[in-house]
Amino acid sequence: MRIVLLGTGDTVGTPKIGCNCPCCMDALAGGRSGRTRFSIMIETGDGRVLIDTGPDLRYQLIKHKISHVDGVVWTHGHYDHYAGFGEFYRVQNRVNVYGLSDTLDYILGYLYFMEPTRHDAVVYEPFSLIGLEFTLFPVHHPPLAESAGVVVCEGDNKLVITGDTTRKIPNRSIEIMRNPDILICDAIAPPEYDLQKHMNTAEAEDLTSELSAKKMVMTHLSHLFPPHDEAVKRWNLGYDGMEMIL
């Protein structure tokens, strides 16, 4: 299983329009602080799946020479996690899309012109795609009533993607998340920020400890961090284009 972090930014990306903070200035200078909006590619010998399709998807697909995918899994109905799917228009038809029912209802109301092949997932019930087992689990991302993380398994190998969430993840979800080989974890800001919709780095590290994750990478990162090369001395931040093999 090959995992590529296509985009590691939050809803506004880095650099933020009109901002001259150190992180944004590093991004403008071409540093790793530059973060496009959230999307992850998972690839096996049987195909490719995207976890979320942020607004910068066209750029991400061109950069990574991706012209075909075998499925899209949407975690929730926020613009920065689905809007880029429209970039498949006149490129690929009838894409298989997966998500919880209310999430699909909302997203496909916007992307109706794409005519994807819809697959309604049920929380905690696995489904198979490109030789992998995917399971969606509920997280806590107010004000949304429905938001999910993803467990991806290939034999004994286990990847967990938290999706957008606070630390208040339901206990049943915590149980199926335990002992991942890789945890890709929402961590939108440093620990001095008390957040209402996302985890900060301290909460992400606490979750990593509770789950006994072998490896954790933080994503969905804002411009509130120091420049990337400085920030990674303190936190295990992902970056656009980061690859992992599991």
| CATH of the domain spanning 2-240 | 3.60.15.10
| pTM score | 0.96
Tell me the pLDDT of the chain (246 aa) as tens digits: 999 999 999 999 999 999 999 999 999 999 999 999 999 999 999 999 999 999 999 999 999 999 999 999 999 999 999 999 998 888 988 999 999 999 999 999 999 888 999 999 999 999 999 999 999 999 999 999 999 999 999 999 999 999 999 999 999 999 999 999 999 999 999 999 988 999 999 999 999 999 999 999 999 999 999 999 999 999 999 999 999 999
To 10 degrees, the CA torsion angle through 112, 115, 119, 123? -20
Of 101, 82, 92, 109, nearest to 48 by C-alpha is 92
Residue type, 106: Y
- The whole-angstrom separation of Cα 130 and Cα 48 is 7
The domain ranges of the chain are 2-240
